[in-house]
């Protein structure tokens, strides 16, 4: 008797649902992508209890006729591809024909659709058609999903908390809204609006709807292309950081994708501008010929393969680095407004407002400030920017001229210029100077060395010695004169000339330790970068160390020569800025406060 049997359609769909429909967010994703493919300009997502009780997606797309409304629920039924050739030039978000069949097999689904004349209603539960009839003729499609996973209790049991499910749905809708700024999205949970975009085809406005104005003002527009890829979008200033990679959003031909290589190169482009465990907010659109990518490698279509990945990674890295390189990035300290117990009369408030308007009017007549503020073209009222930023001119240094006036707690250098006051962390600043010096020497070794007055002998364990011996040539290219000296020991007779005076012994030991513990997949560039950062930290001025005004001025001049004078190698800021306006506001000498 035959043991192998063909599964019935409903059972096959339930199994497929395990891959396509993992949670409430999976349902929302599949339905919204269908709405986008249906050329909708408005999509409304309504939830009850974070989608566990109800998911309803309504669009104003092309709709379906009576025949297609039923056929759409058949497995592998799709209007997106017709033959094998179409599989290699996919321009739609969906194409597998599995989503509706999978969703309908594990839930209660009511579909209402129309092309503008007669509407069709299809009611399916557990993969079986319950009802098919006529309904209202509103053009577009509405799909209502209830009782999700009612017939797959194991899947239902493993749904997360309502907050977690809602967060997952919101994260997806945010990303799909960013990939389609021309579509008006509305997300509602329990009658509360969570997200609403205006569909004005303005990506920056969509970013504002999701992240708010404070973040939006600190986004930088990027553009670039090569023979195969067109790149555009927005990246955040390094000071705007998040604790996870979820806000590094990559879009390929309008599709939200997750690709570890793309995330890695984006994060690496911010190297030394921010801490390694913090991540920027990035929205990058990648336009490419569909024949150069493969989206058919996972049922969720979130992963993607590129046929020319290295060229793409190189292009993204170059665009981001060049954009950051052109910015003067000094965080500005926001002033605090202190409340008083005095009540202001209406007349006083009007006088104060008039004074503020006069001050602004006078400022607008003055010469344009040296350091320009970021403004957003879609905002009706321009507010004062809180980032000291401008585009760099080639002939100018990236750090503005400033003059030291003193030292606070033996740690922070106070400087000033005509624009306001600056505070410099002397350790972070010296660390940056040393880092760039060491990195230059390591990347361009000349083998220059200086003999040691007293050669140093170092002893290691047998396994450490084996690794070290393999890297003798590497150490010699740096400028070390090194020989074997007995069992598991070496003698160092000369070291590179660029080691910091007074820290030679410590830096020699640290370099050898890094060489012994280097990763298996050795990358000389990353290794040199890590070594430079490590050596720079140990060799820099420590906190609570008093230095003279001449030493302060020398440090500032060295910092101004750096490629990135704004952060230490670990991403901490070297300089922060207090504008004259904020200083006056702190001392209540601006606006209404000057009347007191």
Each residue's pLDDT tens digit, 416-469: 999 899 999 999 999 999 999 988 888 888 878 899 888 989 888 888 888 888
Residue 99 backbone dihedrals phi, psi, to 5 degrees? -60, -55
Residues 190 and 100 in one domain: yes
pLDDT over 70 (residue 287): yes
Residues 27 and 168 in one domain: yes
- Whole-number pLDDT of residue 292: 82
- 29-44 pLDDT, tens digit each: 989 988 998 889 999 9
Q: Is 225 inside any structural domain?
A: yes
Q: Is 558 inside any structural domain?
A: no
Please identify, among 163, 196, 229, the residue that sits at the C-terminal boundary of a domain: 196
- Whole-number pLDDT of residue 559: 93
pLDDT over 90 (residue 555): yes
Q: pLDDT grade, residue 493 (50/70/90)? A: very high
Residues 67 and 152 in one domain: yes
pLDDT over 90 (residue 249): yes
Strand partners, 249: 283
Residues 65 and 185 in one domain: yes
The whole-number average pLDDT for the span 119-146 is: 90
Of 84-93, 100-109, 172-181, 264-273, the poorest mean pLDDT is in 84-93
Q: How far is CA 43 from CA 31, 36, 474, 498, 576, in A?
A: 10, 8, 60, 62, 44
Q: In which residue are the tokens 């090194």 written?
A: 482
Residues 188 and 285 in one domain: no
Please identify, among 309, 325, 341, the residue that sits at the C-terminal boundary of a domain: 325
Please state the domain count of the chain: 3
Q: pLDDT grade, residue 148 (50/70/90)? A: confident
- CA-based end-to-end distance of the chain: 99
- Whole-number pLDDT of residue 254: 83
Q: Is 399 inside any structural domain?
A: no
Q: Which of 265, 422, 396 is nearest to 333 (CA)?
A: 422
Q: Provide the mean pLDDT of the chain.
A: 80
Residues 171 and 228 in one domain: no
pLDDT over 80 (residue 386): no
Residues 236 and 269 in one domain: yes
- Whole-number pLDDT of residue 376: 56
pLDDT over 50 (residue 545): yes
pLDDT over 90 (residue 207): yes
For residue 515, the domain's CATH number is 3.30.1370.100
* Rounded Cα distance, 142 and 44, in Å: 9
Q: Go through 574-588 and write b for each residue having 16 or more CB atoms within 10 A of its CB, e for each that does not.
A: bbbbbbebbebbbee
- Whole-number pLDDT of residue 253: 87
Asked whether the beta carbons of 355 and 594 are under 8 A apart, the reply is: yes
Q: Is 336 inside any structural domain?
A: no
Residues 48 and 173 in one domain: yes
Of 98-107, 244-253, 277-286, 380-389, the poorest mean pLDDT is in 380-389
Q: Is 481 inside any structural domain?
A: yes
For residue 186, the domain's CATH number is 3.30.565.10
The whole-number average pLDDT for the span 89-105 is: 67
The whole-number average pLDDT for the span 136-142 is: 89
Residues 56 and 177 in one domain: yes
The DSSP result for 505-535, as a single string, is HHHHHHHHHHHHT--SS--HHHHHHHHHHHH
Residues 185 and 318 in one domain: no
Asked whether the beta carbons of 284 and 187 are under 8 A apart, the reply is: no
Q: Is 52 inside any structural domain?
A: yes
Asked whether the beta carbons of 219 and 145 are under 8 A apart, the reply is: no
pLDDT over 90 (residue 383): no
Structure tokens at 349: 């408030």
For residue 281, the domain's CATH number is 3.30.230.10
Asked whether the beta carbons of 585 and 342 are under 8 A apart, the reply is: no
* Rounded Cα distance, 76 and 80, in Å: 11
pLDDT over 70 (residue 557): yes
% of the chain exceeding 70 in pLDDT: 78
Strand partners, 223: 232
Q: How are beta strands 219-225 and 192-196 bridged, if at all?
A: unpaired
Q: How far is CA 331 from CA 157, 328, 424, 484, 563, in A?
A: 48, 10, 12, 51, 17
Q: In what order do the strands lie in the sheet with 449-459?
A: 449-459, 489-496, 481-484
Q: pLDDT grade, residue 553 (50/70/90)? A: very high
Q: Which of 62-76, 155-169, 216-230, 431-445 has the highest mean pLDDT?
A: 216-230
The whole-number average pLDDT for the span 4-15 is: 58
Q: Is 441 inside any structural domain?
A: no
Q: pLDDT grade, residue 325 (50/70/90)? A: confident
Residues 157 and 121 in one domain: yes
Cα dihedral 257, 218, 269, 520 sign: negative
Asked whether the beta carbons of 241 and 280 are under 8 A apart, the reply is: yes
Longest dimension (CA), the chain: 99
Q: Is 89 inside any structural domain?
A: yes
The pTM (predicted TM-score) of the whole model is 0.69
Residues 93 and 124 in one domain: yes
- Whole-number pLDDT of residue 571: 86
- 512-526 pLDDT, tens digit each: 888 888 765 567 777
- 336-346 pLDDT, tens digit each: 444 444 444 44
- Domain of residue 307 covers 218-325
pLDDT over 80 (residue 382): no
Q: pLDDT grade, residue 75 (50/70/90)? A: low
């Amino acid at each position: 008797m035959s043991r192998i049997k063909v599964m019935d359609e409903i059972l096959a769909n339930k199994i497929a649902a395990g891959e396509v429909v993992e949670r409430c967010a999976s349902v929302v994703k599949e339905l919204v992508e269908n709405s986008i493919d249906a050329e909708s300009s408005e999509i409304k997502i309504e939830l009850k209890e974070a989608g566990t009780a109800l998911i309803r997606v309504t669009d104003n797309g092309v709709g379906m006729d009576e025949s297609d409304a039923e056929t759409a629920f058949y497995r592998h039924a799709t209007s997106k591809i017709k033959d094998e050739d179409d599989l290699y030039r996919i321009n739609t978000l969906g194409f597998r024909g599995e989503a509706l069949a999978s969703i309908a097999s594990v839930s209660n689904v009511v579909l209402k659709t129309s092309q503008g004349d007669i509407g069709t209603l299809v009611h399916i539960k557990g993969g079986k058609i319950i009802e098919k009839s006529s309904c209202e003729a509103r053009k577009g499609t509405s799909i209502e999903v209830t009782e999700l996973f009612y017939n797959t209790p194991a899947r239902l049991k493993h749904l997360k908390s309502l907050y977690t499910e809602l967060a997952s749905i919101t994260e997806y809708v945010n990303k799909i809204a960013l990939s389609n700024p021309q579509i008006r999205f509305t997300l509602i949970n329990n009658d509360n609006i969570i997200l609403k975009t205006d569909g004005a085809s303005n990506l920056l406005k969509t970013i504002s709807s999701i992240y708010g104005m404070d973040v939006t003002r600190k986004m930088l527009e990027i553009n670039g292309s090569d023979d195969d890829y067109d790149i555009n979008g927005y990246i955040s200033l390094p000071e705007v950081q998040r604790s996870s990679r979820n806000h590094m959003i990559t879009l390929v031909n309008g599709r939200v994708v997750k690709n570890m290589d793309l995330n890695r190169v984006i994060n690496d482009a911010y190297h030394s501008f921010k801490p390694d465990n913090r991540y920027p907010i990035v929205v990058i659109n990648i336009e490419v010929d569909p024949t150069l990518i493969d989206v058919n490698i996972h049922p969720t279509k979130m992963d993607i393969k590129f046929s020319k990945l290295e060229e793409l990674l190189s292009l993204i890295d170059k665009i981001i680095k060049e954009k950051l390189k052109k910015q003067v990035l000094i965080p500005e300290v926001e002033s605090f407004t202190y409340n008083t117990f005095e009540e202001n009369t209406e007349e006083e408030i009007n006088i104060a407002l008039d004074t503020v308007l006069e001050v602004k009017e006078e400022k607008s007549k003055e010469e344009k400030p040296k350091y320009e503020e970021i403004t957003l073209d879609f905002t009706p009222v321009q507010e004062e920017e809180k980032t000291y930023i401008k585009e760099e001119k080639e002939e100018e240094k990236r750090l503005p001229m400033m003059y030291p006036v003193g030292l606070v707690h033996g740690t922070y250098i106070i400087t000033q210029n005509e624009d306001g006051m600056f505070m410099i962390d002397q350790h972070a600043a010296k660390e940056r100077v040393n880092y760039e010096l060491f990195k230059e020497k390591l990347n361009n070794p000349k083998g220059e060395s200086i003999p040691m007055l007293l050669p140093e002998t170092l002893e290691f364990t047998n396994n450490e010695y084996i690794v070290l011996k393999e890297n003798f040539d590497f150490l010699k290219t740096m400028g070390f004169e090194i020989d074997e000296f007995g069992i598991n020991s070496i003698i160092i007779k000369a070291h590179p000339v660029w080691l910091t005076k007074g820290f030679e012994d410590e830096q020699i030991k640290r370099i050898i330790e890094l060489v012994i513990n280097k990763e298996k997949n050795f990358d000389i560039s990353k290794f040199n970068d890590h070594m430079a950062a490590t050596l720079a930290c140990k060799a820099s001025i420590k906190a609570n160390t008093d230095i003279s005004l001449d030493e302060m001025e020398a440090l500032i001049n060295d910092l101004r020569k750096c490629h990135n004078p704004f952060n230490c190698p670990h991403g901490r800021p070297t300089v922060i800025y207090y504008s004259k306006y904020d200083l006056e506001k702190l001392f209540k000498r601006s606006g209404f406060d000057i009347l007191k």
